[in-house]
Amino acid sequence: MLPSADLPTISVFGLGYVGCISAACFASRGHPVVGVDVDVRKLDLLRRGIAPLVEDRLGELVADAVASGRLSVTENATDAVLTSDVSLVCVATPSTPGGGLSTAYLEAVTAEIGTALAGKDGWHTVVYRSTMLPGTCEELLVPRLEQLSGKHVGVDFGVCVNPEFLREGSSVRDFLDPPKTVVGQTEDRSGQVVMELYAGLPGPRFRVPLAVAEMVKYVDNSFHALKVDFGNEIGAICAALGLDSHEVMDVFLSDDKLNLSAAYLRPGFAFGGSCLPKEVRALTHTARRHDVDAPVLAHILASNEAHLRRALDMVLSLGKRKVGLFGLSFKPGTDDLRESPMVELAERLIGKGCDVRIYDHDVALSRLTGSNKAHIDERLPHLAELLTDELDTMTQHGEVLVVATKDEAALSAVERAPAGTVVVDLVHVPRLRETRSSAEYLGLSW
């Protein structure tokens, strides 16, 4: 494929793993590409059409792109910026000794691009592919570009964050068949420019704020690491019990409704009920009995407890004593109170001297029997005095209204709460944020 006059020219800064793959793949899609690096050995190899790293299909893509004239390389950053429409920054962001992130290479390349932009007429889009912590682009790199160019982002040039989702060994395939395309943008013009670079490729597409795009990569890789550790811990426990771990996990992996799905992954309140706490507790106990170290499993309940404390601290930090709780069962749509985090939250608020009232459409004292009745009698014997069916009484009583239900009647009552009442949302109800002032709405983790 020959370079197309309709396709923007791309300069790629940093010809390591991500940069080389990006340069070769964009060139294979018809873009004129100029690679920039300080390593003369890489540049020499690429000028001869030789890939500087081993990766399936990369060698043939590089050879073809160089032979066709679509891919060239240079040490001159200014020339690369002046002769391109889009600059991709793909330099390394290594860990510091303390676990932080080094931005030294990012800052160096940003300085080169910013200096070059000072002498360029016309619009230019700077795109960061490097992995960096949320806020790095907006707080560190954009100001540097503006300072050195003497220009303004969104007016004279654009900035985007475009994280890559490439796996070594299959990176060319991943580039051409991505799981998703994410573009963080300073403004629509730049976001559109970058998204069009991936025209025709499959997968969902997202145009989001810069920091959201930065965060996505960390969420992805942390979850991948968590999955590896979870699978290995299950394997170790199965081996200690004489079970075939792969047979167990084959059954686990077959469930794409609850296990390999979006279920349970959206931020909300702590888990509870008769199953999750009990089974996690029992499995970690089994691991200890068989001398299997399983730190991921062992810290699940500790993490859940920390999330409950976040909610407690959020309510207490307001310095208001009168609290209305909407929702008491361990999750909406049930009357099961066993190990309910809302019961625990109510108990702790009362212990801190709060005047608590509770409404839960699914929990009626007159109908409670068995384990639910026993749980109330044992854990919160004065619950009968706190429960009410009067929604307006709840909203008039509470200086703080804690929402842990999506019951329509309860939500409507919260929306009618007097001005000045603070709503603490534990289950993510966007309409409550829309109907309250910024000082009257607190989301637990959003």
**Three-state SS annotation for 430-442:** HHHHHHCCHHHEE
Nearest alpha carbon to residue 121 among 150, 96, 93: 150
427 near 323, Cβ under 8 Å? no
pTM, to two decimals: 0.90
173 annotated as belonging to a binding site for a ligand? no
Dist CA 186 CA 135 (whole Å): 13
Dist CA 437 CA 116 (whole Å): 45
Quick one: pLDDT at residue 382?
74
Quick one: pLDDT at residue 3?
44
Domain edges within the chain: 10-211, 303-443
Average confidence (pLDDT) over 101-126: 97
191 near 208, Cβ under 8 Å? no
278 annotated as belonging to a binding site for a ligand? yes
207 annotated as belonging to a binding site for a ligand? no
299-347: per-residue pLDDT in tens? Answer: 999 999 999 999 999 999 999 999 999 999 888 777 778 789 999 999 9
257 annotated as belonging to a binding site for a ligand? no
Handedness of CA 316, 317, 319, 324 (dihedral sign): negative
Average confidence (pLDDT) over 142-152: 98
The rounded mean pLDDT for the chain is 94
Question: Among 3.40.640.10, 3.40.50.1240, 3.40.50.720, 3.40.718.10, what is the CATH number of 303-443?
Answer: 3.40.50.720
Dist CA 348 CA 403 (whole Å): 16
CATH architecture designation of domain 10-211: 3-Layer(aba) Sandwich (3.40)
Residue whose structure tokens are 């790293």: 53
Residues 6+ apart with CB under 8 A from 308: 269, 270, 341, 344, 345
Least confident of 151-155, 162-166, 243-247, 331-335: 331-335
Give yes or no for residue 1 having a pLDDT over 50: no
pLDDT bin (cut points 50, 70, 90) of residue 370 is low
407-431: per-residue pLDDT in tens? Answer: 999 999 999 999 999 999 999 999 9
Quick one: pLDDT at residue 387?
87
Least confident of 297-301, 328-332, 348-352, 387-391: 328-332
13 annotated as belonging to a binding site for a ligand? no
Give yes or no for residue 361 having a pLDDT over 90: no
Quick one: pLDDT at residue 83?
97
Nearest alpha carbon to residue 320 among 350, 344, 355, 345: 355
Catalytic residues: 275
Least confident of 263-267, 270-274, 293-297: 270-274
202 annotated as belonging to a binding site for a ligand? no
Q: Is-same-fold flag (10-211; 303-443)?
A: yes
Q: For residue 183, what are the β-bridge partners?
A: 207
C-alpha distances in Å from residue 405, one per residue of 71, 233, 270: 57, 34, 13
Give yes or no for residue 349 having a pLDDT over 60: yes
Average confidence (pLDDT) over 284-300: 97
Q: Is 200 exposed, middle or buried (0-12, 13-18, 19+ CB in 10 A)?
A: exposed
Quick one: pLDDT at residue 30?
97
